[in-house]
Amino acid sequence: MLHSLHVAFTLTGLMLHLFAGAETKSMSGPIMSVSESQVLIQKGTESVTFFVTRETKVSLNGKEVKVSELKMNDQAELSAVENGDGTFKALTIKATRSDKQPTVPR
């Protein structure tokens, strides 16, 4: 019993240490592409890829949705942590979509 508690506290401490060192970053911009595992955001003249996990909280116009419901040109605000290799893991994606659809020339 004591061994199990020690292991649980050690793992909890390790997880807190890992997340305490991870700085949360925020970014916003139009979505350029979406897949089940990635969202590409336009930031100025560059694009930034965010990896999506099961833990990523995704919303569209204030409603919780699946990442697959997001579309190109939706405006998104993301919070993420940087992985050790310079990539980003999305924690939250808050997207908005305008009710107005662009007119298509005939």
Instruction: Encode pLDDT of 33-57 as tens digits.
Output: 999 999 999 988 989 999 999 999 9
Q: How confident is the model at residue 1 (pLDDT cuts 50, 70, 90)?
A: low
- Count CB atoms within 10 A of the CB of residue 30: 15
What pLDDT score was predicted for residue 102?
Answer: 56
In this prediction, residues 17-36 reach a mean pLDDT of 80
What pLDDT score was predicted for residue 3?
Answer: 44
Q: How confident is the model at residue 75 (pLDDT cuts 50, 70, 90)?
A: very high
Least confident of 60-64, 72-76, 99-103: 99-103
Among 16, 73, 5, 78, which residue's Cα sits nearest to residue 48?
Answer: 78
- Domain spans of the chain? 24-96
Q: Taking the model in full, what pTM does it have?
A: 0.72
Strand intervals (E) in 13-103: 24-34, 38-43, 46-51, 57-60, 63-64, 75-82, 88-96
- Domain spanning 24-96, CATH architecture: Beta Barrel (2.40)
Mean model confidence pLDDT for the chain: 81
Among 57, 64, 68, 65, which residue's Cα sits nearest to residue 31?
Answer: 68
In this prediction, residues 8-32 reach a mean pLDDT of 65
Please, are residues 80 and 88 in contact by the beta-carbon 8 Å criterion? Answer: yes
What pLDDT score was predicted for residue 92?
Answer: 97
